[in-house]
Structure 1
Amino acid sequence: MSESQPQRGLFVTIEGGEGVGKSTNIATIEAWLIEQGIAHCLTREPGGTALGEKIRGLLLTVEQEPVTEHAELLLVFAARAQHLRQVVEPALARGEWVICDRFTDATYAYQGAGRGLSVDFIRELEQSIQGDLRPDCTLLLDAPAAVGMSRAGERAELDRFEREQMAFFERVRDCYLARAAAEPQRFQIIDTARPLAQVTPDVCAALDRLKQATC
């Protein structure tokens, strides 16, 4: 008799604009997973694979040649196709929780709302590359764009996206909140404009609820 297949893992994405504290809160999530004894995979988009990280460099680095909006979108999905095949899908099949720093919601927010590209076109690419795969849960780390960009401005050097105008980041945030309102069963919004000591318990509580819902 063959051994039973492991239960499929959970796909959890962490979304939000610039300066909302994704790195800090992902560290909190990792600590929680370790404490709970949950096998997991931490990854990010764009990136997560050798090819994906090269594409990430192309997307974030300020170059003399401007990157067109459609080139940017297609690079994002090229990295995603590689990432899903090599990292995300195998980890889920092994029964691991996959914690991904940004996913397709970011594409709708940044390339769709931010750049003004067709939502229908993004949806076509999403279906073609992902099939039926969607996150089981999305934690939206939310703060006003002005707060996030003030934090981002404290970094040593801004990347190509961080150099956009405030109106760009306002559109990004509005898109995220609209998507969360449209899918309340998937999204959990965490107010990260507050001190970290107030944010951390909310992140852990969201993870507790997710674990209980899957038991």
Structure 2
Amino acid sequence: MRPAPPRGVFITFEGGEGAGKSTQLGRLARHLQERTGRTVVTTREPGGSPRAEEIRTALLAGVAKRYGSFAEALLFTAARIDHLDRLIRPALRRGEIVICDRFADSTRAYQGAAGGLEARTVRALERVAVGETRPDLTLILDLPPETGLARARARSSETGPDRFEAEALDFHARLRAGFRAIAEAEPERCAVIDADRGADAVEAEIRAVVAARLPDLVPAEPGEGRHNAA
């Protein structure tokens, strides 16, 4: 009889524009692949499945902006449902490690805290889309919005800012506060990482947090101590 696969692990990265999520997601994926030998699936939101990627293109182009935060949240939710059904849940059932660049917390922060959509509406949409598929660990990369926007706009200098990068500074200040509020409300799931540092320092803290929060996932190397990462 074949042994049952290990339990799937779901890790998400969150944060404002220019926080370095994509870079750190890639680094963590390589680290976990090497240390665990398990299959690591990397994905993103909006997107991650063909239909969700189509919705992503429309959202980042600003197609839904004129209809308000509720319309945007509906589109994000539609993309999330397809993403979960087609990629995330099947991978978790196979016992794989799934690392996602943004998930439901981004809807809470972008359309909720920064966009003004009522929290009860955001929660209702989340219940419908996410159900019991909650992240085991959420890494929130935090930095001043001025710094993040400068990074993001330098990165998109040729193509121009996307729908959210183009928002005013006060939007991004509310966004940062929204992510911090999520971390304060769910400290057992969320860890805030100071992203206003070099990429290597950020990566080292992320590894320490993952080792502390998910000790059964990452085996300790000989002589390696556990960090009490908050």
TM-score normalised over the length of structure 2? 0.88
Separation (CA, whole Å) in 1 of partners of 2:99 and 2:63:
30
Cα shift readout 1:154-183 (whole Å, capped 9, x = no counterpart): 122210110000110111110100110111
The question of 1:160 aligning with 2:195 is answered no
Aligned to 1:113: 113
Gaps of 5+ in 1: none
Aligned to 2:8: 9
Separation (CA, whole Å) in 2 of partners of 1:30 and 1:64:
32
- For this pair of structures, how many residues does the alignment match? 214
The question of 1:204 aligning with 2:203 is answered no
Aligned to 1:68: 68
Query: Taking CA–CA contacts closer than 8 Å with sequence separation of 6 or more, which of the two structures ends up with the larger relative contact order?
Result: 1
The question of 1:82 aligning with 2:82 is answered yes
**TM superposition shift of 1:213:** 4.2
TM-score normalised over the length of structure 1? 0.94
**TM superposition shift of 1:65:** 7.8
8 A Cα contact 2:43 2:101, kept in partner:
yes
SS of structure 1 residue aligned to 2:85: helix
Aligned to 2:24: 25
Separation (CA, whole Å) in 2 of partners of 1:122 and 1:211:
28
CA 1:19–1:49 in structure 2 vs 1: closer, same or farther (change >3 Å)?
same
Gaps of 5+ in 2: 220-230
Structure 1 segments of 4 or more deviating over 3 A? 62-65
Aligned to 2:223: none
**TM superposition shift of 1:89:** 0.3
Separation (CA, whole Å) in 2 of partners of 1:5 and 1:93:
10
Which of 175, 192, 200 is the aligned partner of 2:195? 192
Percentage identity across aligned positions?
A: 43
Separation (CA, whole Å) in 1 of partners of 2:65 and 2:17:
24
Separation (CA, whole Å) in 2 of partners of 1:45 and 1:3:
34
**Which shifted more, 179-188 or 52-61?**
179-188
RMSD across aligned C-alpha pairs, in angstroms?
Answer: 1.7
CA 1:168–1:206 in structure 2 vs 1: closer, same or farther (change >3 Å)?
same
CA 1:184–1:148 in structure 2 vs 1: closer, same or farther (change >3 Å)?
same
**Which shifted more, 204-213 or 51-60?**
204-213
SS of structure 2 residue aligned to 1:152: helix
